[in-house]
Amino acid sequence: MSPHRPIDYGEASGRARAVFDDIKRTRKVEDVNNFWKYLAHDPATLERTWASVKEIMAPGALDALTKEMLYLAVSVTNGCGYCIASHGAAARKAGMSEAMFGELMAVVGMANETNRLANGYRVPVDPAFDS
């Protein structure tokens, strides 16, 4: 079976269904996103990925909104179209306003620019940063 099609709840294995159920319960949603329906082709990866995401994205020293914005910043840097769409939606759901999105994008753009300026000018690390 091609892995490039979604597996819906009805045709999912028991192991995949258990993950789908936990995602729906944890996020209080009616259905899971395509990402999880595609990962269901490999139940071991589905389980491990969801367990990690659930643990990592729970509020801790950083709140849920900050975590979603960091996720979005990485996805924009990598140019992952799916992830930009899904984590943009998740960040908005967690409270990201359009003004916050605008500032996030400005920082991400600037960081990508100055990362290359530092590379190209071959700037050595200041001793103060290593202490």
Q: Does residue 11 belong to the site contacting its own copies (CB under 8 A)?
A: no
The site for its own copies, by CB under 8 A, has a size of 78
Contact present, 43 and 15 (Cβ < 8 Å): yes
Minimum Å distance from CB 21 to its own copies?
Answer: 19
**Using rule CB under 8 A, residue 8 touches its own copies:** no
Nearest CA to 86 out of 100, 78, 75 is that of 75
**Which contiguous run of DSSP H or E holds residue 70?**
helix 64-78
CA distance 17 to 10: 9
Does 22 engage in binding with its own copies (CB under 8 A)? no
Residues of span 36-75 touching its own copies by CB under 8 A: 38-39, 41-42, 44-45, 48-49, 52-53, 55-57, 60-62, 66-67, 69-75
Nearer to its own copies, 15 or 85 (CB): 85
Stretch 103-122 residues interacting with its own copies (CB under 8 A): 103-122
Q: Is 14 in the site for its own copies (CB under 8 A)?
A: no
Our CA dihedral for 110, 115, 120, 123, rounded to 10 degrees, sits at 120
